[in-house]
Structure 1
Amino acid sequence: MHTTDLQALPMPAIGVGAIVFNGGHVLMIQRGQPPAHGLWSIPGGKQEPGEGLAEACCREVAEETGLAVTVQQLVAVAERRLEGFHYVILDFLAVLADPAVAEPQAYSDALQARWVALSDLADYPMVEGLAVIITRSYKLYRNGGAAGLIAALPPYSDFILPAQP
Protein backbone atom coordinates (compact mmCIF):
# COMPACT_ATOMS: atom_id res chain seq x y z
CA MET A 1 0.00 0.00 0.00
CA HIS A 2 1.31 3.48 -0.85
CA THR A 3 1.78 6.20 1.77
CA THR A 4 -1.04 8.26 0.25
CA ASP A 5 -3.36 5.24 0.53
CA LEU A 6 -2.47 4.86 4.22
CA GLN A 7 -3.18 8.54 4.90
CA ALA A 8 -6.75 8.07 3.62
CA LEU A 9 -7.46 5.29 6.13
CA PRO A 10 -8.92 6.16 9.55
CA MET A 11 -6.60 5.84 12.53
CA PRO A 12 -7.69 2.90 14.72
CA ALA A 13 -9.25 4.06 18.01
CA ILE A 14 -9.75 2.12 21.24
CA GLY A 15 -13.35 1.63 22.28
CA VAL A 16 -14.94 -0.11 25.25
CA GLY A 17 -18.33 -1.71 25.72
CA ALA A 18 -20.20 -2.91 28.81
CA ILE A 19 -22.30 -6.05 28.76
CA VAL A 20 -24.62 -5.73 31.74
CA PHE A 21 -27.28 -8.31 32.60
CA ASN A 22 -30.31 -8.05 34.84
CA GLY A 23 -31.89 -11.47 35.01
CA GLY A 24 -32.54 -12.58 31.43
CA HIS A 25 -32.16 -9.03 30.09
CA VAL A 26 -29.17 -7.12 28.71
CA LEU A 27 -28.65 -3.35 28.90
CA MET A 28 -28.88 -1.85 25.40
CA ILE A 29 -28.80 1.61 23.87
CA GLN A 30 -29.86 2.83 20.46
CA ARG A 31 -26.96 4.73 18.92
CA GLY A 32 -27.57 8.39 18.18
CA GLN A 33 -24.30 9.05 16.31
CA PRO A 34 -22.25 7.38 13.57
CA PRO A 35 -21.00 4.78 13.18
CA ALA A 36 -24.06 2.53 13.24
CA HIS A 37 -26.46 5.44 13.90
CA GLY A 38 -29.89 4.08 14.83
CA LEU A 39 -28.67 0.56 15.53
CA TRP A 40 -28.87 -1.04 18.98
CA SER A 41 -25.69 -1.71 20.92
CA ILE A 42 -24.31 -2.22 24.37
CA PRO A 43 -23.31 1.02 26.11
CA GLY A 44 -19.79 2.09 25.22
CA GLY A 45 -17.54 4.44 23.36
CA LYS A 46 -14.01 5.74 22.93
CA GLN A 47 -11.39 5.62 25.63
CA GLU A 48 -10.21 9.14 26.54
CA PRO A 49 -6.56 10.18 27.05
CA GLY A 50 -5.27 9.25 30.51
CA GLU A 51 -8.25 6.99 31.22
CA GLY A 52 -7.99 3.32 32.14
CA LEU A 53 -10.08 0.77 30.26
CA ALA A 54 -12.35 -0.02 33.23
CA GLU A 55 -12.75 3.70 33.96
CA ALA A 56 -13.74 4.33 30.34
CA CYS A 57 -16.27 1.52 30.48
CA CYS A 58 -17.90 2.82 33.68
CA ARG A 59 -17.93 6.40 32.36
CA GLU A 60 -19.56 5.42 29.07
CA VAL A 61 -22.32 3.44 30.81
CA ALA A 62 -23.04 6.37 33.14
CA GLU A 63 -22.99 8.91 30.27
CA GLU A 64 -25.34 6.89 28.07
CA THR A 65 -27.72 5.30 30.61
CA GLY A 66 -27.26 7.06 33.96
CA LEU A 67 -26.39 3.73 35.61
CA ALA A 68 -23.29 2.95 37.65
CA VAL A 69 -21.51 -0.34 37.01
CA THR A 70 -18.53 -2.30 38.25
CA VAL A 71 -16.36 -3.92 35.60
CA GLN A 72 -15.81 -7.66 36.05
CA GLN A 73 -13.75 -9.14 33.21
CA LEU A 74 -12.83 -8.72 29.59
CA VAL A 75 -14.98 -11.08 27.50
CA ALA A 76 -14.47 -10.03 23.87
CA VAL A 77 -12.29 -8.00 21.55
CA ALA A 78 -14.06 -6.80 18.40
CA GLU A 79 -12.58 -4.94 15.48
CA ARG A 80 -15.05 -2.87 13.46
CA ARG A 81 -14.31 -0.94 10.28
CA LEU A 82 -17.44 0.80 9.07
CA GLU A 83 -18.61 4.16 7.81
CA GLY A 84 -15.08 5.62 7.77
CA PHE A 85 -14.31 4.51 11.35
CA HIS A 86 -11.88 1.87 12.62
CA TYR A 87 -12.40 0.73 16.21
CA VAL A 88 -10.80 -1.96 18.32
CA ILE A 89 -13.45 -2.52 20.98
CA LEU A 90 -12.85 -4.26 24.29
CA ASP A 91 -16.12 -5.60 25.70
CA PHE A 92 -16.36 -6.12 29.43
CA LEU A 93 -18.83 -8.03 31.54
CA ALA A 94 -20.06 -5.55 34.14
CA VAL A 95 -22.60 -5.60 36.98
CA LEU A 96 -24.83 -2.88 38.37
CA ALA A 97 -23.13 -1.09 41.26
CA ASP A 98 -26.53 -0.76 42.96
CA PRO A 99 -29.13 -3.30 41.77
CA ALA A 100 -31.84 -1.12 43.34
CA VAL A 101 -30.97 1.59 40.78
CA ALA A 102 -31.61 -0.28 37.54
CA GLU A 103 -33.84 1.91 35.35
CA PRO A 104 -31.77 3.20 32.42
CA GLN A 105 -32.35 6.61 30.86
CA ALA A 106 -31.05 7.68 27.45
CA TYR A 107 -28.37 10.33 27.85
CA SER A 108 -25.42 11.65 25.82
CA ASP A 109 -25.47 10.19 22.30
CA ALA A 110 -28.01 7.43 23.06
CA LEU A 111 -31.45 7.79 21.46
CA GLN A 112 -32.95 5.13 23.75
CA ALA A 113 -31.76 2.95 26.64
CA ARG A 114 -33.53 -0.15 27.93
CA TRP A 115 -33.27 -3.67 29.24
CA VAL A 116 -33.81 -6.07 26.33
CA ALA A 117 -34.88 -9.66 26.92
CA LEU A 118 -32.29 -12.02 25.48
CA SER A 119 -35.12 -13.86 23.74
CA ASP A 120 -35.94 -10.60 21.88
CA LEU A 121 -32.41 -9.75 20.64
CA ALA A 122 -33.30 -10.70 17.05
CA ASP A 123 -35.92 -7.90 17.06
CA TYR A 124 -33.25 -5.24 17.59
CA PRO A 125 -31.10 -4.30 14.58
CA MET A 126 -27.44 -4.21 15.63
CA VAL A 127 -24.00 -4.47 14.08
CA GLU A 128 -23.02 -7.91 12.85
CA GLY A 129 -21.45 -10.10 15.52
CA LEU A 130 -22.77 -8.28 18.60
CA ALA A 131 -25.62 -10.72 19.31
CA VAL A 132 -23.13 -13.59 19.46
CA ILE A 133 -20.93 -11.66 21.91
CA ILE A 134 -23.96 -10.92 24.12
CA THR A 135 -25.29 -14.49 24.16
CA ARG A 136 -21.88 -16.02 24.86
CA SER A 137 -21.28 -13.47 27.61
CA TYR A 138 -24.63 -14.39 29.15
CA LYS A 139 -23.51 -18.02 29.43
CA LEU A 140 -20.39 -16.81 31.21
CA TYR A 141 -22.44 -14.54 33.51
CA ARG A 142 -24.96 -17.32 34.27
CA ASN A 143 -22.14 -19.73 35.15
CA GLY A 144 -20.58 -17.35 37.66
CA GLY A 145 -18.08 -15.66 35.35
CA ALA A 146 -15.36 -18.31 35.65
CA ALA A 147 -13.67 -17.28 32.38
CA GLY A 148 -12.41 -14.18 30.62
CA LEU A 149 -9.55 -11.88 31.52
CA ILE A 150 -9.60 -10.21 34.93
CA ALA A 151 -7.97 -7.00 36.14
CA ALA A 152 -4.44 -7.37 37.47
CA LEU A 153 -3.50 -5.77 40.76
CA PRO A 154 -3.25 -1.95 40.83
CA PRO A 155 -1.52 0.22 39.72
CA TYR A 156 -1.66 -1.67 36.41
CA SER A 157 -4.51 -1.56 33.91
CA ASP A 158 -3.65 -5.02 32.62
CA PHE A 159 -6.18 -7.80 32.16
CA ILE A 160 -4.84 -11.32 32.60
CA LEU A 161 -6.09 -14.88 32.84
CA PRO A 162 -7.38 -15.78 36.31
CA ALA A 163 -5.12 -17.97 38.43
CA GLN A 164 -5.95 -21.64 38.07
CA PRO A 165 -6.59 -23.64 41.26
Structure 2
Amino acid sequence: MGAILHDADGRLLLIKRGTEPGRGLWSLPGGHVEPGEDDAAALVREMAEETGLAVSAGPHVGTVLVGPYRIADYRCTLVGGTLTAGDDAADARWVDAAEFAALPLVDGLAETLAGWAVLPR
Protein backbone atom coordinates (compact mmCIF):
# COMPACT_ATOMS: atom_id res chain seq x y z
CA MET A 1 0.00 0.00 0.00
CA GLY A 2 1.08 3.55 -0.62
CA ALA A 3 0.41 7.00 0.82
CA ILE A 4 -0.61 10.11 -1.07
CA LEU A 5 0.14 13.07 1.16
CA HIS A 6 0.15 16.75 0.16
CA ASP A 7 1.24 19.66 2.33
CA ALA A 8 -0.62 22.98 2.65
CA ASP A 9 1.21 24.27 -0.46
CA GLY A 10 0.11 21.31 -2.57
CA ARG A 11 3.52 19.66 -2.61
CA LEU A 12 3.56 15.86 -2.67
CA LEU A 13 5.57 13.70 -0.29
CA LEU A 14 7.93 11.31 -2.11
CA ILE A 15 10.65 8.95 -0.97
CA LYS A 16 13.77 7.85 -2.82
CA ARG A 17 13.77 4.07 -2.72
CA GLY A 18 16.74 2.65 -0.87
CA THR A 19 16.06 -0.97 -1.83
CA GLU A 20 14.88 -2.95 -4.84
CA PRO A 21 12.60 -2.82 -6.65
CA GLY A 22 13.31 0.68 -7.86
CA ARG A 23 16.40 1.50 -5.79
CA GLY A 24 17.39 5.13 -6.43
CA LEU A 25 14.03 6.07 -7.95
CA TRP A 26 11.40 8.30 -6.37
CA SER A 27 8.01 6.94 -5.36
CA LEU A 28 5.17 7.27 -2.90
CA PRO A 29 6.00 6.10 0.61
CA GLY A 30 4.44 2.81 1.61
CA GLY A 31 5.07 -0.87 1.97
CA HIS A 32 3.71 -4.26 2.87
CA VAL A 33 0.72 -5.01 5.04
CA GLU A 34 1.87 -7.24 7.90
CA PRO A 35 -0.19 -10.22 9.08
CA GLY A 36 -3.01 -9.01 11.31
CA GLU A 37 -2.89 -5.42 9.96
CA ASP A 38 -5.44 -3.71 7.81
CA ASP A 39 -4.38 -1.20 5.17
CA ALA A 40 -4.97 1.81 7.46
CA ALA A 41 -2.76 0.43 10.23
CA ALA A 42 -0.05 -0.52 7.72
CA LEU A 43 -0.17 2.95 6.20
CA VAL A 44 0.30 4.64 9.58
CA ARG A 45 3.18 2.27 10.48
CA GLU A 46 4.96 2.53 7.12
CA MET A 47 4.73 6.33 7.06
CA ALA A 48 6.29 6.54 10.52
CA GLU A 49 9.05 4.08 9.55
CA GLU A 50 9.88 5.62 6.14
CA THR A 51 9.27 9.32 6.74
CA GLY A 52 9.08 10.02 10.48
CA LEU A 53 5.59 11.47 9.96
CA ALA A 54 2.41 10.58 11.79
CA VAL A 55 -0.61 10.37 9.50
CA SER A 56 -4.20 9.28 9.53
CA ALA A 57 -5.33 7.08 6.68
CA GLY A 58 -7.94 8.48 4.34
CA PRO A 59 -9.90 7.23 1.37
CA HIS A 60 -8.64 4.74 -1.21
CA VAL A 61 -7.57 6.62 -4.34
CA GLY A 62 -6.61 3.77 -6.66
CA THR A 63 -4.77 0.50 -7.12
CA VAL A 64 -1.86 -0.38 -9.42
CA LEU A 65 -0.17 -3.62 -10.36
CA VAL A 66 3.62 -3.52 -10.22
CA GLY A 67 5.03 -6.87 -11.22
CA PRO A 68 3.59 -9.37 -8.77
CA TYR A 69 2.48 -6.64 -6.34
CA ARG A 70 -1.01 -5.16 -6.06
CA ILE A 71 -0.57 -1.71 -4.48
CA ALA A 72 -3.55 0.14 -3.05
CA ASP A 73 -2.88 3.87 -2.61
CA TYR A 74 -4.67 6.03 -0.06
CA ARG A 75 -4.94 9.74 0.57
CA CYS A 76 -3.51 10.65 3.99
CA THR A 77 -3.71 13.54 6.41
CA LEU A 78 -0.64 14.76 8.27
CA VAL A 79 -0.99 14.52 12.06
CA GLY A 80 2.57 15.36 13.17
CA GLY A 81 6.20 14.34 13.20
CA THR A 82 9.36 15.60 11.53
CA LEU A 83 10.19 14.58 7.98
CA THR A 84 13.24 12.35 7.92
CA ALA A 85 14.15 9.43 5.68
CA GLY A 86 14.18 6.10 7.45
CA ASP A 87 13.79 2.35 7.00
CA ASP A 88 13.76 1.61 3.23
CA ALA A 89 13.90 5.28 2.17
CA ALA A 90 17.24 6.77 1.11
CA ASP A 91 15.68 10.26 1.10
CA ALA A 92 12.28 11.86 1.68
CA ARG A 93 11.05 15.25 0.56
CA TRP A 94 8.10 17.43 -0.36
CA VAL A 95 8.11 18.16 -4.10
CA ASP A 96 6.25 20.70 -6.20
CA ALA A 97 5.24 20.13 -9.83
CA ALA A 98 8.58 21.29 -11.27
CA GLU A 99 10.64 19.10 -8.92
CA PHE A 100 8.33 16.15 -9.55
CA ALA A 101 8.82 16.46 -13.32
CA ALA A 102 12.62 16.53 -12.92
CA LEU A 103 13.03 13.51 -10.61
CA PRO A 104 13.76 9.95 -11.76
CA LEU A 105 10.47 8.28 -10.83
CA VAL A 106 9.43 4.65 -10.61
CA ASP A 107 7.79 3.49 -13.84
CA GLY A 108 4.24 4.71 -14.33
CA LEU A 109 4.07 6.96 -11.25
CA ALA A 110 3.54 10.26 -13.09
CA GLU A 111 0.88 8.84 -15.39
CA THR A 112 -0.94 7.10 -12.55
CA LEU A 113 -1.00 10.15 -10.29
CA ALA A 114 -2.12 12.35 -13.20
CA GLY A 115 -4.98 9.94 -13.90
CA TRP A 116 -6.04 10.13 -10.25
CA ALA A 117 -5.70 13.98 -10.25
CA VAL A 118 -3.26 13.94 -7.29
CA LEU A 119 -0.12 15.42 -8.86
CA PRO A 120 1.74 18.07 -6.86
CA ARG A 121 1.13 21.75 -7.60
Give yes or no for TM over 0.5: yes
User: What is the aligned counterpart of 1:97 among 64, 79, 82?
Assistant: 79
Structure whose CA Rg is larger: 1
Whether the 8 Å contact between 1:67 and 1:104 is mirrored in structure 2 is yes
**For residues 62 and 102 of structure 2, what CA distance do their matches in structure 1 show?**
23
Post-superposition CA distance 1:30-73 (Å, at most 9, x none): 00011011110111011110001111111111100000111110
User: What is the aligned counterpart of 2:5 among 4, 17, 20?
Assistant: 20
Correspondence 1:113 to 2:99: no
What aligned pairs does 1:11-160 form with structure 2 within 5 A after superposition? Answer: 16-22=1-7, 23-81=9-67, 86-98=68-80, 101=81, 103-135=82-114, 136-138=116-118
**For residues 29 and 92 of structure 2, what CA distance do their matches in structure 1 show?**
9
Cα 1:137–1:50 shift into 2, 3 Å: farther
Overall identity of the aligned pairs, in %: 43
Greater relative contact order (CA < 8 Å, ≥ 6 in sequence): 2
CA RMSD of aligned residues (A): 1.7
Which sections of structure 1, spanning at least 5 residues, go unmatched?
A: 1-15, 143-165
Q: Output the amino acid matched with 2:51.
A: T
Runs of 4+ residues over 4 Å off in structure 1? none
Given the two structures, how large is their TM-score scaled by the length of structure 2?
0.89
Which sections of structure 2, spanning at least 5 residues, go unmatched?
A: none
**For residues 95 and 60 of structure 1, what CA distance do their matches in structure 2 show?**
14
Q: Output the amino acid matched with 2:70.
A: V
Given the two structures, how large is their TM-score scaled by the length of structure 1?
0.67
Equivalent position SS for 1:111: strand
**For residues 65 and 104 of structure 2, what CA distance do their matches in structure 1 show?**
19
How many matched pairs?
118
